[in-house]
Amino acid sequence: MSGYPTEPTMIRSDKTAREIFEETLANPARAKFGFGQKIAIVNVDPQKAYTRPDLYPKTAYITDPNQVTHINDISSAARSKGLPVVWTHVAYMENAADAGVWGTRTNTPDSLQNIKYGSERHEFDDRLTIDEKVDAVYTKRMPSAFFETPLASFLTWHQADTVVITGGSTSGCIRATAVDALSRGYRAIVPIECVADKHESYHFANLTDLLIKYADVVPVAEVKAWIEGYKG
């Protein structure tokens, strides 16, 4: 039909995902969502299956070598100001009956469905400082930290309007949690040094997508500065 576009309009580029992210970060096309009145730290799946490539080289990854330290720092700082801190990790029943379609595409020792409750893969990284007296700890089964967990009601009770999302993977559970946060009316903040992925292309492509659409992607120093200035 005449008058309709007939050629693809998708932009093509020889730049790497990292280069595109760095350019987008330096020249943002929109204003930031910004921090709201009260944040919550949501640490998504910093468990051994994903943080210990020495133990699980096929599933774990390191992007920033100081990721765990940064997560501890902002979680501790938030806790000291009375701000809520949440930790999630993934696990399934022994027969994987709760893994759904997502978890059962393959069945190898490294498959998602074989992260069992109480297993080493399910355990949080030993370097993390988690205070279960005051921090919320949830086991989840799907990508988003919001899906079938008490997270939303926990944030409502604490009157948090902003979620700072850390952990991994950037292209999986971080992205899913950020999209769900925005969809539920929260401001989403993703500190760059606090998230990781298996491959830099996935990592930076998704950071770019988050930055353009769903979240503020910022240096962790911005999160630390906001917490330091929080008066309650």
- Could you say which of 151, 163, 164, 173 is catalytic? 173
Give dist(CA 209, CA 25) in Å, integer: 11
Tokens of 104: 């059962």
Side-chain-side CA neighbours of 150 within 13 Å: the count stands at 9
Known catalytic residue at 194: no
| 3-state secondary structure (DSSP) of residue 177 | helix
Annotate 197-209 with b (16+ C-beta within 10 A) or e (fewer): bbeeebbbbbbbb
Give dist(CA 146, CA 139) in Å, integer: 11
User: What stretches of the chain show up as alpha helix (H) in DSSP?
Assistant: 17-26, 48-51, 67-80, 100-103, 151-157, 175-183, 200-209, 220-229
Report CA dihedral (88, 103, 178, 201) to the nearest 10 degrees: 110
Q: Which residues have a catalytic role annotated?
A: 173
